[in-house]
Amino acid sequence: MKVEQIYTGCLAQGAYYIESKGEVAIIDPLREVHPYIKRAKLDDAKIKYIFETHFHADFVSGHVTLAKETGAPIIYGPNANPSFDAITAEDNQEFKLGDLTIKVLHTPGHTMESTTYLLKDENGKDYAIFSGDTLFLGDVGRPDLAQKMGELTERDLAGYLYDSLREKIMPLADDVIVYPAHGAGSACGKNMMKETVDTLGNQKKMNYALRADMTKDEFIEEVIEGLLPPPQYFPLNVKMNKEGYEDIKTVLERGTRALSPKEFEAAANETGAIVLDVRHQDDYAKGHIPRSIFIGLDGSFAPWVGALIADVQQPILLVAPKGLEEEAVTRLSRVGFDNTLGYLKGGFEAWKKASMEYDTVSQVNSEELKDAIEKENATVFDVRKPSEYLSEHVLTAHNTPLDFLNDHLSEFPENKPFYVHCAGGYRSMIASSILKSRGIHNLIDVTGGFKEIKESGIPVSDYVCPSTL
C-alpha cells in the first residue's frame, strides 16, 4: 500500500495518490494531471478511480482531464449532479483498489455533496480518511458556500456538518489518519493548523469543532463566527468543476504566446486585458508597465489573483521572469483563469529597451517611516487582514484590508503622500499596484512590513493573541 500526499503550498491544497497491487486512486487532483500519470507509470500501475470529495470552490480540479486521458471513472458522493459522466456513489458504497477498500462516507455540511473517503487496509482495518473540506486540522469547512441551494442557510449547513462529524467521523478509531483537502492559508476555513497530516485522536483533542460535549447550537455559533465573505471567484470555480472546462493543453498553448512590446501593447488595447506582473515586488517597484497589477509568483499567487481579479473570463497578459511564463499560466489555470493571451517576450527589460513608457513605486524602509511619523505625522494604511490589525498595529494606522481595498478607495488622501504596509512587503505592493491603476499615485510603499516596523520602535498597540479575538 502506498499513500502519498501531493501538497501544493501556494493553494494550501492536498491531492492524494493511493496505490495497491498496480491499481491507483487519485483524490482531488490538481488541474495539471501529468504528474499523476507519470507517477503511476513509475509504479507500473494503472489509474483506476478518480475520487472527488465535493465540487471545489477555491481551485479547478483535474478530474475531467484525468478521466479523459486515463479512462478512469470520476466518483462523487451522494447529491452530486455533474454535467459530465461520473459515478454518483451511495453512502457506505465500497470500491476495491488492489488489496484495499475505499468506503464512501457521505458527510454533508460544507456542501451537500461533500463526502469523506475511508481507506481500509488489506485486513479490512480502518487506516485513513480523506476528509476533503469536511474536516481540516484544527478546523472544519466553512458552511456558507452552498447557501444558494434551495432554502438552505449557513446555519442549516452548519447543522448538517455537526451531524456528519459526530455520526460518520468521530466514531472512528483514534489511530485513523486524517488527510484533509487544505491546510493553513486556505480561504475554505478560518483556523487551520500548519500541519497537513494528523491522527483523528489528536484532532479530537485539538480541534474546537470536535469537542465531545459540544451541543449543535454551540457548534453552529462557533463555526459561523468570524467568517469573512468568500472570494468572488469561488462560484465560478464550482461551475467549472461541475460543468467541465477547457483542456489544460489548450490553455497553455494560448497563454504562452510570446509577444513583442508593440504586440503586447496592441493586445492590451484591443482586448481590454489586465497586465499582470508576476515578478518579485522589488523588481516591480523599480519599474513596471503603467496600470499593470502586481501579484508575484513568490507569494500566495493564485488565491490573490482569484480574490482580486475575480472574473475568471478576464483576459490577462503576463509580465513574468524569464523561464517562468508557463508556470504562471499553469498556476492561473488552477483557479480557473484560463484566458491568458500571452506574455511579454524578453520581459520588462525588453519593454524598457523599446523606449516604452513605464512607472515606478516610491518606497521607504521602517526607519524612514519612523522619521515621517515623528516629523510629519505621516498617514499610514495597513492592508493586512482585520485579525492581524487587531492583534497588533501601528497606533496611527488605518486598516484597509487588501481583500476589500476597492471598498476603501475614498479613504486615501488625494493631495498628500501616504504610506502603505503589510506584514512583509508582498501585499502592500499588490495594494500599491491597484491604487496606482486607479490613478492614485501619492503612495509610498514600506519595505519589510510590520515586522521591521515594530523593530524600528514605531509605537504599536498592545499585542492580543489572534485566537482570542
Give per-residue pLDDT as tens, 363-374.
999 999 999 999
Give the whole-number percent of the chain exceeding pLDDT 70. Answer: 98
Whether domain 246-353 has CATH 3.30.70.120: the reply is: no
Beta partners for 126? 120
- For the chain, residues classed under CATH 3.60.15.10 are 2-235
Give the pLDDT confidence score for residue 117 in this predicted structure.
98
Over residues 375-387, the mean pLDDT reads 95
Give the pLDDT confidence score for residue 229 in this predicted structure.
83
Residue 468 confidence (pLDDT) above 60: no
Under 8 Å between Cβ of 90 and 98? no
Q: Is 420 helix (H, G, I), strand (E, B) or coil?
A: strand
- CA-to-CA separations, 272 to 48, 84, 168, 278, in angstroms, rounded: 43, 32, 50, 19
Q: Is 225 helix (H, G, I), strand (E, B) or coil?
A: coil
The residues, ordered by sequence, that sit 6+ positions from 198 with a Cβ below 8 Å of its Cβ are 137, 177, 178, 206
Give the pLDDT confidence score for residue 145 in this predicted structure.
82
Give the pLDDT confidence score for residue 230 in this predicted structure.
86
Q: Where are the alpha helices (DSSP H) in 165-316?
A: 200-206, 216-224, 234-243, 248-255, 261-271, 281-286, 301-309
Over residues 408-436, the mean pLDDT reads 96
The residues, ordered by sequence, that sit 6+ positions from 286 with a Cβ below 8 Å of its Cβ are 360
Amino acid, res. 79:
N
In CATH, what number does 363-468 get? 3.40.250.10
Average pLDDT, the chain: 95
Q: Which helix (H) or strand (E) holds 164?
A: helix 154-164
Q: Which helix (H) or strand (E) holds 88?
A: strand 87-88
Residue 161 confidence (pLDDT) above 70: yes
In CATH, what number does 2-235 get? 3.60.15.10
Least confident of 4-8, 147-151, 275-279, 427-431: 147-151
> How many degrees, rounded to 5, is the angle at CA 136 between CA 451 and CA 17?
110
pLDDT band for 310, please (50, 70, 90 cuts): confident
Over residues 71-96, the mean pLDDT reads 97
Q: Where are the alpha helices (DSSP H) in 228-324?
A: 234-243, 248-255, 261-271, 281-286, 301-309
Give the pLDDT confidence score for residue 185 in this predicted structure.
82
Give the pLDDT confidence score for residue 190 in this predicted structure.
79
Residue 380 confidence (pLDDT) above 90: yes
Give the pLDDT confidence score for residue 231 in this predicted structure.
86
How many alpha carbons lie under 13 Å from residue 179 in its C-beta half-sphere? Answer: 23
Over residues 289-299, the mean pLDDT reads 96
- For the chain, residues classed under CATH 3.40.250.10 are 246-353, 363-468
Long-range Cβ contact pairs of 322-328 (< 8 A, separation 24 or more)? 322/347, 324/278, 324/297, 325/255, 325/256, 325/258, 326/252, 326/255, 326/256, 327/297, 328/278, 328/297, 328/301
The neighbour count for residue 144, using CB atoms within 10 Å, is 18
Over residues 257-279, the mean pLDDT reads 98
Give the pLDDT confidence score for residue 186 in this predicted structure.
85
β-pairing, 274-277 vs 23-27, is unpaired
pLDDT band for 72, please (50, 70, 90 cuts): very high
Give the pLDDT confidence score for residue 149 in this predicted structure.
53
Give the pLDDT confidence score for residue 399 in this predicted structure.
97
